[in-house]
Amino acid sequence: MAKRGRPAAEITLTGNERRQLESWARRHSTAQSLAMRCKIVLLCAGPEELTGKQIAAKVGCNPATVSKWRRRFAKQRLDGMIDEPRPGAARTIGDDVVEQIVIDTLESTPKNATHWSTRSMAERHGISRQTVSEIWRAFGLKPWEIDEFKISPDPQLVAKIRDIVGLYMNPPVNAAVFAVDEKPQIQALNRTAPMLPMMPGSNQRRSHDYKRNGTIDLFAALDIASGQVITELRPNHDSAQFIKFLNKINREVPKELDVHVVLDNLSTHKTPAVHKWLLRHKRFHFHFTPTYGSWMNLVERWFSALTTKKLQRSVHGSVDALAKDIQEWVDVWNEDPKPFVWHKTADEILERLGRYCADVTNIEFIDGSA
C-alpha cells in the first residue's frame, strides 16, 4: 500500500554541517531545545533511514516536531536551527535610558513629591510603569521606603558594645548570663464581637474595635546558653517590683554560679535601692546596653516571639485570663527552649557603625579602644 502524505525532505550533510550539529548537540551550554533539534537532523541524515516516529521516540518528542525541523533544515540549513524572531514589539529601552532612570531615582525628586513613583517616573521618560518597576527591581531601588536610624550618644558606646558582645559570644566560665527586661502594660483586649474562624476562601475575621480590660507587666530573664526564660507577672514595673524579680532569679540560679545580667538603661534599673541590693548580692554583675541600644538585648527577640505567636491575635476578657495565657505560653516555651544565637562580632558592628557615620552624617567615627 502506497504511503500517504507529504514525502519527507531528504537530508544530506556536509562535513562542516555535521561537525557543527554534533558540537551543538554535545555542548553542555547549549539550550536543550537547540540540542534536540540538532539530534533530530543528525538522525534524519543518518545511515539507518529511520522514520519520523522512530526518530521522535529516540529524541523524546512527537513526530510533528521531527517533520518541522527536517523541513526547516532542508530550506535554511544551519541558520534554520535558531528560533525565528517571536511576534511582538522589539526592545525599545536602551542602556542609556536605564542608566538615566537609575540616576534620576537616586539624585532627584519630582516637583510635587518627596520621591518618585512608577507613574511619575514613567511619565518623565515616556515609558510604561511596568518597565520602571522592572528597572527598580533589577537595581534594588525602593524610593517609597525609608529606613530610620539613631546614633547612640553614649560616651561608653564602644566599651559597652564590646562588653555585651563578649558575654554573648564568649561567656565567662562558672557563670550564667541573662538578658533581662520588662514588657510593660500588656493589654487584655477583647473584641466587641466574636471572632469568625478561618474557612476555605475566607480569612479569620475580627471586629476593628475592641474593649480594654486592664494591663499587666511581664518581667523576663532569658538564659542565653539554654534559651530558657525566668518570668514574673507584676501589676507594674517600678524599682520594688524589679528587685522582687531579681530575688526570683537569685533563687533559681545555682548558688555556685556568678550571674551576669544584660539590661537597658531604664531608670528603675539604677535606683539607690537596686544599688543596695547589688551590694548584698556580690555574684550579680550588671552590663548596661548603650543608650538607644536596646537592640543588643537578646530578650527583645523573645518578647517579639511572644507578641507575634501569642499576644497579637489573642483575646482576653480579663487580666487574669491574659496572665494565664502568657504563663501557659512560657511553660510551653521552656519545655523545648531555643536559644537566640548572636552572630555579629564587636568589630563587625563597629565597622558598620563607622560606615554609617561616614555615609549619613559625615562624622568620623573613632574606635577609642583600638
| 59-113 pLDDT tens trace | 888 888 888 888 888 888 877 776 555 555 556 678 788 888 988 998 899 988 9
Would you state the torsion angle of the CA atoms of residues 341, 158, 153, 340, taken in this order, to the nearest 10 degrees?
Answer: 0
The overall average pLDDT reported for the chain is 86
From edge to edge, which strands make up the β-sheet containing 210-223? 229-234, 210-223, 175-191, 258-263, 284-288
Q: Is the pLDDT at 340 greater than 50, yes or no?
A: yes
Q: What residues contact residue 22 under an 8 Å CB cut-off, 6+ apart? A: 38, 42
Q: Is residue 347 part of a domain?
A: no
Co-location of 267 and 331 in the same domain: yes
Q: State what percent of residues in the chain have pLDDT above 70.
A: 90
Co-location of 34 and 132 in the same domain: no
Triad 276, 282, 288: Cα angle to 5° = 75
- CATH code of 59's domain: 1.10.10
Co-location of 117 and 232 in the same domain: no
Domain count, the chain: 3
Co-location of 134 and 215 in the same domain: no
The per-residue pLDDT for 366 is 53
Range of the domain at 243: 173-194+207-341
- CATH code of 240's domain: 3.30.420.10
The per-residue pLDDT for 367 is 57
Co-location of 112 and 74 in the same domain: no
Q: Is the pLDDT at 288 greater than 90, yes or no?
A: yes
| 352-369 pLDDT tens trace | 888 777 766 655 555 555
Q: Is residue 86 part of a domain?
A: no
Co-location of 215 and 246 in the same domain: yes
Alpha carbons 294 and 176: distance in angstroms, whole number: 20
Co-location of 232 and 331 in the same domain: yes
Q: Is residue 90 part of a domain?
A: no
Q: Are 41 and 11 in contact (CB under 8 A)?
A: yes
Put residue 339 in one of left, alpha, beta given phi > 0 → left and psi -120 to 50 → alpha: beta
Q: Is residue 365 part of a domain?
A: no
Q: Is residue 364 part of a domain?
A: no
Local structure of 178: helix, strand or coil: strand
Q: Is residue 103 part of a domain?
A: yes
Co-location of 189 and 297 in the same domain: yes
Co-location of 105 and 132 in the same domain: yes
Q: Is the pLDDT at 346 greater than 80, yes or no?
A: yes
Alpha carbons 198 and 355: distance in angstroms, whole number: 47
125 phi/psi in degrees, rounded to 5: -105, 0
Q: Is the pLDDT at 33 greater than 80, yes or no?
A: no
Co-location of 273 and 215 in the same domain: yes
Type of residue found at 335: E
Co-location of 313 and 235 in the same domain: yes
Q: Is residue 357 part of a domain?
A: no
Q: Is residue 311 part of a domain?
A: yes
Co-location of 184 and 325 in the same domain: yes
Alpha carbons 2 and 281: distance in angstroms, whole number: 106
